[in-house]
Amino acid sequence: MKKIIATLLLAVMILSTACASAPELLPFIDEKPTGTGLAGQTLKVHLNFGTYKDDSPYRDALIEHVENIATKLNGNIELRYDREDSTEREIDVPFEIAAGTYQYDVYVAGADTNIVKSKIFLPITEFYDYIDYRDSEKYGTLEYLEGIMYDGVLYGVSPQQWPGIDAVELFTNVYNRDLFKENNLTDLHEYYEQGIWTWDTFENEYLAKVQIDANSEIPYYAFQTDQPDYFQSVFYANDCSFVERLDDGTVVPSIGNAAFVEAITWGQHIIREYGDITLFDSDTYANEEYVRGEIFCGWLPSNQVITGNIAYEANFDSGVMPLPCGPNATYGEWSQIIQGCFGCFIPVTTSDMEGSAMIISELCEPLPGYEDPAIFYDMTFENQTDLEIFMKLSENCRYDYARVGDNKLGRSIAESFGKTLTKPDRSVTADIETYRRMMTTLAEDWIIPNYNMVHGEE
C-alpha cells in the first residue's frame, strides 16, 4: 500500500510541476528553431492507431512515413505500432505517463477531453514555432480539436492529411444503394442534388415510403442507429449548442432553447413513428447488420466506409450522405458530429520537448503516395457525388462532448431522451428541466472555456 501511495504522490508532483510551470519548462519557445533536427538522438514514438488495417496500403505508408521523418530530422525514431484491437497490447501508456515513467516522446492515439484533463500531455500551444495548430488543413479545425482540449488549453493536434483521418468518429448517413434500387426507392443523392435533403425529406420521401416485408427470412430495417449517438446527431444537425454568446459578449449555457427542444422532439417522433422498421439500439461501430446487407440506411461512423469493415467487407454499393438538415441549421453546412479526436501528444515525461514537437510537425504531413487527398478518396469512391459529399463532411464537424463529465453531458442525457420514448405523455421540456442543473454545470466547466479559445473572447 505504501508503495502505491508513493507512486501516486510522485505522479501528482510530476504533473503539478510539469503542467503548472509549462512556460518555465519550455525555454526554447522564445527562440527560432535551430535547424539541427534531432542531432543524432533517438526518440520514441508510440502509434496506437486502429483505423488502418494491418494489411492495408495506408498502414504501410504510415510506417514508411516515420522512417522518412527520422532521416529528414537527422536522428532515429524507435517506433511502436499498436492496433487498437490487438491482442498484444502494451501497458496502459497514459497511466505510465501519470506515474512519471518515461516511455515515449510522442504519443499518437485516439483521446478525448477526459484524458487530456489529467494534464499528462504538454500544452501544444507552447510549441507554436514548430506546430501552427491553427493550420486547419494540416491539424484539424479548432472545433474538431475540442475533443482534445480542456479548460481552454489545447493538448494535441490531429494529422488531417493522413488518408481518412478526418473521418474518424465522424457520424454520417450511409445507405445501401443496391437495396434502394431493388425496392424502387429514390436514390438519396437526388435529394442532395435538388437541395432538399432535410428532416422533412428524410421522413416523408424516404422513411414513409419504405416497405419492409415482415415475412422475409432476413430482418431488414429501413434505418439503423443507436440511442445516444442518434440524439446527439439530431441535436447538432439542427445547429444546436449547449452554449451561446450574448450581445454583451458573455458566453452562457443555452440549455433548452427552441432549437434544442425542436431537435429532441423531432428525434423522438421519428423513433416512435417508425420504430417497427428501425434498428434503434444497435452497435453502430460494429455495424454488422449493415455490412450483411440488412439495412437500407444507417447513421454510422464514416471511417467505416473508407478504412473499416464497410470498405473491406460489404459486397454491395454503399453511398454516403450528410445527416439531413434540421430547420434551425444552415442548409449545406452539414454540421456533422465527431465523438472523439485522434491526436498527436507530447507526454510530460518526454526526454526532448523540442524534438517531439519537430516529429509531430512532420508526422502530420501527408503519407508517401497520398500527398493529394483526392488520390485517396478517388480510390475509395467510384461515385463522384459520394466523393463530393465526403470531402465536405468534416469542414463543419463539431465535437459533441459525449464523453465529458464521466459521459454525463452527451450519452447519459441522450439516453434519457431515448428512455422516454415509451412514455408519450412525457414532454421534452420536462426532461430538459430534470437535467438542466447538471447540463448547465457541465457546460460551464467543460465547454465555455473551450468556446472562448475556439471562437475568441470579446
Residue with cell 425529406: 201
Query: Is pLDDT of 283 > 70?
Result: yes
- 119: which 3 cell numbers? 494534464
Q: Positive or negative, the Cα torsion across 186, 187, 188, 191?
A: negative
Residue pair 93/340 in contact by the 8 Å Cβ criterion: no
DSSP annotation of 325 reads B
Neighbours of 338 (CB within 10 A): 26
Strands 149-150, 153-154: parallel, antiparallel or unpaired by DSSP?
antiparallel
Percent of the chain residues topping a pLDDT of 70: 88
Report pLDDT digits (tens) over 401-431.
877 777 677 767 777 777 777 777 778 888 8
Whole-angstrom Cα distance, residue 264 to residue 260?
A: 6
Angle in degrees, 0-180, between the axes of helices 353-363 and 57-72, rounded to the nearest 10 = 140
Closest by Cα among 126, 175, 176 to 153: 126
**CA dist list (Å): 207 to 63, 81, 195, 212, 259:** 45, 44, 18, 11, 23
Query: Is pLDDT of 25 > 50?
Result: no
Q: Positive or negative, the Cα torsion across 163, 166, 168, 170?
A: negative
Phi and psi of 49, rounded to 5°? -135, 110
> What residues contact 431, with CB distance under 8 A and at least 6 apart?
264, 416, 417, 420
Angle in degrees, 0-180, between the axes of helices 258-274 and 227-237, rounded to the nearest 10 = 130
Burial class of residue 328 (count of CB atoms within 10 Å of its CB; 0-12, 13-18, 19+): middle
Report pLDDT digits (tens) over 220-262.
999 999 877 888 899 999 999 889 999 998 999 988 889 989 9
Residue pair 428/231 in contact by the 8 Å Cβ criterion: no
Higher pLDDT, 145 or 89: 145
Report pLDDT digits (tens) over 91-113.
688 888 999 999 999 999 888 88
Q: What is the largest CA-CA distance in the chain?
A: 72
Whole-angstrom Cα distance, residue 157 to residue 131?
A: 9
Domain boundaries of the chain, sorted by first residue: 2-165+341-382, 171-335+401-455
- 145: which 3 cell numbers? 480539436
Domains 2-165+341-382 and 171-335+401-455 belong to one CATH topology: yes
What 3-state class would DSSP assign to 69? helix
Query: What is the pLDDT of the chain when averaged over all its residues?
Result: 84
Neighbours of 213 (CB within 10 A): 9
Q: What homologous superfamily is domain 171-335+401-455 in, according to CATH?
A: Periplasmic binding protein-like II (3.40.190.10)
pLDDT value of position 361: 97
Burial class of residue 444 (count of CB atoms within 10 Å of its CB; 0-12, 13-18, 19+): middle
DSSP annotation of 39 reads T
H or E element: which one contains 355? helix 353-363
CA 76 to chain centre: 31
Whole-angstrom Cα distance, residue 287 to residue 63?
A: 29
Q: What is the CATH number of domain 2-165+341-382?
A: 3.40.190.10
Q: Which of 11-20, 84-93, 227-236, 350-359: highest mean pLDDT?
A: 350-359
> What residues contact 317, with CB distance under 8 A and at least 6 apart?
176, 177, 178
Closest by Cα among 264, 291, 276, 281 to 208: 276
Closest by Cα among 163, 102, 85, 142 to 346: 102
pLDDT band at 21 (very low <50, low <70, confident <90, very high): very low
For the entire predicted model, the pTM comes to 0.82
Half-sphere exposure of 357 (CA within 13 A, CB side): 22
